[in-house]
């Protein structure tokens, strides 16, 4: 999961921000609205947040209904008074309509006004039940851990449906089709189109060599963790679906560069140590006192 650089989406904040942006766009277009709800909208947004924190959900929903009603009034006011809309106002009005119409049970919901491509993925973890961004598929080598394929998967597809596109990217980048792919249990029941053999984790009755190789499947988890903490994968600030794809690819390239620099650092210190040892040997040999002569 590659989270997007957005604030945590709440209904109250999204409704209030959509109303504010629509009012500002109408003002820039020279449209005089009947009422902007600037003062009461701000207070209702704050109240909804406080009620949610105090777990007073009926009061919170009441404030959200107010915000939704005020957004609908502004939308209808803009539609009545704008015969020829500029493109900026049309875009804001379309986003406001989409937000006003969506409900809790809907799919493909809007989670950020400036990033409509953001998706919600349920993680099932206590600290992060949900993450908002785009799903990313990662392919690394089994022994060295180098990233040989990384791409974004918009639309939140099933893991098994991303296999062929990921293997295709690996073949494009490395000029070689993998013969064996080590995957997790989300790829059960899937067969690669090119004949690549899949080894699904927790598979029993395997030869000893393949069973040992399958243990390397867990090595991808720390790779993803390092890319999230050190490689900026945990917060994508690039715009649009193209920005998601570019950010994922750059995070994979950055991980490879960090691994190469780490190996070069080890070689550098080893070389410096050998040179220092050689210098100490030469200095010790030249400064040693001559052996005494015996008759």
Mean pLDDT of 30-49: 94
Confidence (pLDDT) at 290: 62
Within a domain: 129: yes
Tens digits of residue pLDDT in 263-293:
999 999 999 999 999 998 888 777 766 656 5
Residues 178 and 245 in one domain: yes
Residues 81 and 160 in one domain: no
Residues 185 and 76 in one domain: no
Residues 40 and 129 in one domain: no
Those residues with Cβ within 8 angstroms of residue 184's Cβ, 6 or more apart along the chain or in another chain: 159, 200, 201, 217
Confidence (pLDDT) at 140: 93
Tens digits of residue pLDDT in 83-106:
778 888 999 999 999 999 999 888
Question: How many domains are there within the chain?
Answer: 2
Those residues with Cβ within 8 angstroms of residue 92's Cβ, 6 or more apart along the chain or in another chain: 18, 21, 22, 25
Listed range (49-58, 88-97, 185-194) with the worst mean pLDDT: 185-194
Residues 27 and 139 in one domain: no
Within a domain: 268: no
3-state secondary structure of 236: strand
Residues 94 and 130 in one domain: no
Tens digits of residue pLDDT in 105-125:
888 899 999 999 999 998 878
Tens digits of residue pLDDT in 129-141:
899 999 999 999 9
**Structural domain for 70, as ranges:** 10-101
């Amino acid at each position: 999961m590659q989270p997007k650089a957005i604030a945590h989406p709440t209904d109250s904040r999204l409704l209030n921000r959509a109303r504010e942006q629509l009012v500002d766009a109408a003002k820039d277009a020279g449209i005089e609205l009947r009422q902007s709800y600037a003062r009461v909208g701000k207070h209702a947004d704050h109240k909804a947040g406080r009620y949610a924190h105090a777990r007073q959900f009926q009061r919170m929903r009441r404030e959200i209904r107010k915000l939704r009603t005020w957004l609908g009034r502004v939308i209808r006011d803009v539609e009545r008074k704008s015969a020829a809309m500029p493109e900026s106002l049309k875009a804001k009005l379309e986003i406001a309509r989409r937000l006003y119409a969506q409900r809790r049970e809907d799919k493909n919901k809007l989670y950020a006004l400036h990033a409509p491509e953001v998706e919600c993925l349920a993680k099932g973890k206590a600290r992060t039940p949900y993450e908002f961004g785009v799903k990313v598929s990662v392919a690394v080598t089994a022994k060295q851990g180098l990233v040989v394929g990384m791409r974004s998967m918009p639309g939140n597809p099933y893991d098994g449906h991303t296999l062929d596109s990921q293997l295709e990217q690996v073949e494009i980048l490395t000029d070689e089709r993998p013969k064996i792919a080590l995957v997790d249990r989300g790829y059960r029941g899937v067969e690669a189109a090119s004949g690549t053999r899949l080894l699904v984790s927790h598979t029993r009755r395997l030869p000893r060599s393949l069973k040992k190789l399958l243990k390397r499947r867990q090595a991808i988890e720390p790779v993803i963790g390092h890319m999230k903490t050190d490689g900026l994968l945990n917060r994508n600030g690039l715009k649009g679906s193209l920005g998601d794809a570019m950010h994922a690819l750059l995070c994979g390239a950055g991980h490879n560069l960090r691994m190469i620099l780490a190996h070069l650092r080890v070689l550098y210190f080893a070389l410096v140590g050998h040179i220092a040892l050689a210098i100490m040997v030469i200095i010790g040999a030249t400064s040693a006192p001559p052996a005494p002569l015996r008759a």
